[in-house]
Structure 1
Amino acid sequence: MRLSTVILPIRRWSDGGRAEWECAEDLGFHTAYTYDHLSWRTFRDGPWFGAVPTLTAAAAATSRIRLGTLVTSPNFRHPVTLAKELITLDDISGGRITLGIGAGGSGFDATTLLGSGQEPWSPRERAARFGEFVPLLDQLLSEGEVTAEGAYYAAGAAQNIPGCVQRPRLPFAVAATGPRGLRLAARYGQAWVTTGDPKLAEDATAADSLAAIGRQVERLGEACAETGRDVGELEKILLTGFTPDRPLDSVGAFVDFAGAHAELGFDEIVLHAPIPDSVFAADPAVFEKIATEGLAQLNG
């Protein structure tokens, strides 16, 4: 089991931003991720910085911890320009980048690039775009020159020399729960990401959530079987904060939570770094104690 964290890009680099990433490395987290949004939900009216520049600065400020997005989506990205940025970021970090990638949602910032009054893409269109986005990005990050023509995305002799430091390309962690997304994870992912079942009612229990996530793991196995891949080859990542559980209440709560999900086959648990007066509020001292002692107690 690995333990990682998410650092939302809400602080100026000179006013606590840099220190958060350095602290994540000092605490021993496996990976520090950030959201790739233009802003997000309850943070809409506050500071929010870009993911790739933030990760570039974090790469320069750290030396060991892996870094990544959780997640990038077609809502704000084109495969050709994203590939160029990722190759550069992988180079600057010395091969420490993981790309968390998903189909995207319909939140307020989903229409920012569409213009005033435009409706967000439907779930069907998001899935269709994602189904084209991931294979093209895979090709762009793996080959020196790519020409491709799709319904949504094209590349005309796109040059990506020298390619990623990590070979054949940097790893993809594909966030998915639906059939099409799970097939993409099975085919192109080095990892699969879930936040749990978004359809669960607010009064759902931790046991309800665990059972639902178990069914997601089963469907992932079915998708892998369809593509001829061993599901054991695909790492499984749980981004916390979206289920009824409260793993940041105490080290014991974390150990119980992580242990239950480890039994489902999860390899990595991701905790949000505490943000006061927000949906991610938590005791910083407990957070640090989980980071330094949680896995040892789980393994013990």
Structure 2
Amino acid sequence: MKAGVWLPLFDELADPRVVADLAVDAEAAGWDGLFVWDQIVWRAPVLAVADPWVCLAAAATLTSRIALGPMVSPLSRRRPTKVVRESVSLDRLSRGRLVLGVGLGSDRFAQEYSRTGEPVADRTRAEMLDESLEILRAAWAGQPVHHHGTHHLVDDLTFAPRPVHDTIPVWVAGFPGNPRPLRRAAAHDGFFPVNLTSPDQLAEAVQRVQDLREDPARPFDVAIDLAPGTDPAPWLAAGATWLLTDLDPETLRLEIVRAMVREGPQRPA
């Protein structure tokens, strides 16, 4: 089991210095990772929001062991060539500790797509996500990227430098009952099922993803979010490999988050 601090970058946590300090505390307290939300805005009462890549870069400079990454980044509202540069730069800054969480995101919490002119339809954003992942994989491999898609164009570009470990792990978020996110996760390095209701639901989703994987022996992570104090044992038995902190973004208080981080992760008995 690995345990990660998962932070909404809102209000008192909307400061890269604060996030970096929490990352230092997390590493000292025995956490295995620090992951952050990727949002442009959020609904009231949240007012302030920080940029995930800047916060992660600040955390990377002050830590040496823990995994770091956005969890999750809706790639449909980011230019994939820009993400190539950002991801490799952060990976090299952290000496190979980046984990890239990706997903569709949702317009329902703060209308951050509809109010900024981004595509709202799930199908369109799913197409853009898949194209972006194709571009990222080719770019990270150091291959010339020839991508003429419906939504993105990369015409014979080679990107250097490459990631520290040749590629960057990609964890795919999605609802456990939807086949397309399951297939997308199976083609990458990890699955982050959202809105889980029981360990049995997780076990079923994990099995479906495993059945879709071309090489079931290749390392693969399953990350879930649990409220502090929840017994992790049934979830680990159902297939979770990472447990992330489930924090209410609308009631965040820095002093409570800092105390939780310094207490360290809850390990099964």
In the TM superposition, residue 231 of structure 1 has moved relative to its aligned partner by 7.0
How far, CA to CA, are the matches of 2:38 and 2:88 in structure 1? 17
How far, CA to CA, are the matches of 1:281 and 1:18 in structure 2? 15
User: Which consecutive unaligned segments of at least 5 residues does structure 1 have?
Assistant: 198-207, 241-246
Kept in 1, the 8 Å contact 2:101–2:171? The answer is yes
Q: Counterpart of 2:100?
A: 99
Considering fraction of residues, name the structure with more helix: 1
Q: Counterpart of 1:155?
A: 154
Q: Counterpart of 2:40?
A: 38
Kept in 1, the 8 Å contact 2:20–2:59? The answer is yes
Q: Counterpart of 1:239?
A: 225
How far, CA to CA, are the matches of 2:208 and 2:216 in structure 1? 13
Measured against aligned partners, the alpha-carbon deviations of 1:94-125 in whole angstroms (never above 9, x if no partner) come to 1111101112222311234417xxxx522222
User: How many aligned residue pairs are there?
Assistant: 263
Q: Counterpart of 2:215?
A: 229
Are 1:111 and 2:114 counterparts? yes
Measured against aligned partners, the alpha-carbon deviations of 1:214-239 in whole angstroms (never above 9, x if no partner) come to 33223213322xxx331773211112
Task: Give the 3 Å change call, closer, same or farther, for CA 182–219 of structure 1 in structure 2.
Answer: same
In the TM superposition, residue 27 of structure 1 has moved relative to its aligned partner by 1.4
Higher gyration radius (CA): 1
Task: Give the 3 Å change call, closer, same or farther, for CA 14–159 of structure 1 in structure 2.
Answer: closer
Question: Could you tell me which amino acid in structure 2 is paired with residue 260 of structure 1?
Answer: P
Q: Counterpart of 1:26?
A: 28
Task: Give the 3 Å change call, closer, same or farther, for CA 73–176 of structure 1 in structure 2.
Answer: same
Give the secondary structure class of the aligned counterpart of 1:97: coil
- Larger relative contact order, structure 1 or 2 (CA cutoff 8 Å, min sep 6): 2
In the TM superposition, residue 273 of structure 1 has moved relative to its aligned partner by 6.0
How far, CA to CA, are the matches of 1:171 and 1:165 in structure 2? 11
How far, CA to CA, are the matches of 1:125 and 1:96 in structure 2? 31
Are 1:4 and 2:7 counterparts? no
User: What is the RMSD of the two structures over their aligned residues, measured on CA atoms?
Assistant: 2.7
In the TM superposition, residue 13 of structure 1 has moved relative to its aligned partner by 3.8
Kept in 2, the 8 Å contact 1:75–1:110? The answer is no
Give the secondary structure class of the aligned counterpart of 2:77: coil
Kept in 2, the 8 Å contact 1:274–1:284? The answer is no
User: Which consecutive unaligned segments of at least 5 residues does structure 2 have?
Assistant: none
The 5-angstrom pairing of residues 206-225 of structure 1 reads 208-224=197-213
In the TM superposition, residue 18 of structure 1 has moved relative to its aligned partner by 2.9
How far, CA to CA, are the matches of 2:210 and 2:106 in structure 1? 24
What percent identity do the matched residue pairs reach?
21
Kept in 2, the 8 Å contact 1:90–1:96? The answer is yes
Provide TM-score, normalisation by structure 1.
0.78
How far, CA to CA, are the matches of 2:143 and 2:83 in structure 1? 15
Measured against aligned partners, the alpha-carbon deviations of 1:237-267 in whole angstroms (never above 9, x if no partner) come to 1123xxxxxx42x4xxx3x2x1001111111
Are 1:259 and 2:233 counterparts? yes
Q: Counterpart of 2:242?
A: 268
In the TM superposition, residue 134 of structure 1 has moved relative to its aligned partner by 1.6
Measured against aligned partners, the alpha-carbon deviations of 1:6-57 in whole angstroms (never above 9, x if no partner) come to 12223354763432222111211111001112123446x4111111111111
Q: Counterpart of 2:54?
A: 53
Are 1:146 and 2:132 counterparts? no
Measured against aligned partners, the alpha-carbon deviations of 1:171-216 in whole angstroms (never above 9, x if no partner) come to 11111232122112111x211111234xxxxxxxxxx533332332
How far, CA to CA, are the matches of 1:98 and 1:80 in structure 2? 18
In the TM superposition, residue 136 of structure 1 has moved relative to its aligned partner by 1.9
Are 1:180 and 2:183 counterparts? no
Question: Could you tell me which amino acid in structure 2 is paired with residue 190 of structure 1?
Answer: D
Q: Counterpart of 2:81?
A: 80
Provide TM-score, normalisation by structure 2.
0.86
How far, CA to CA, are the matches of 1:73 and 1:12 in structure 2? 19
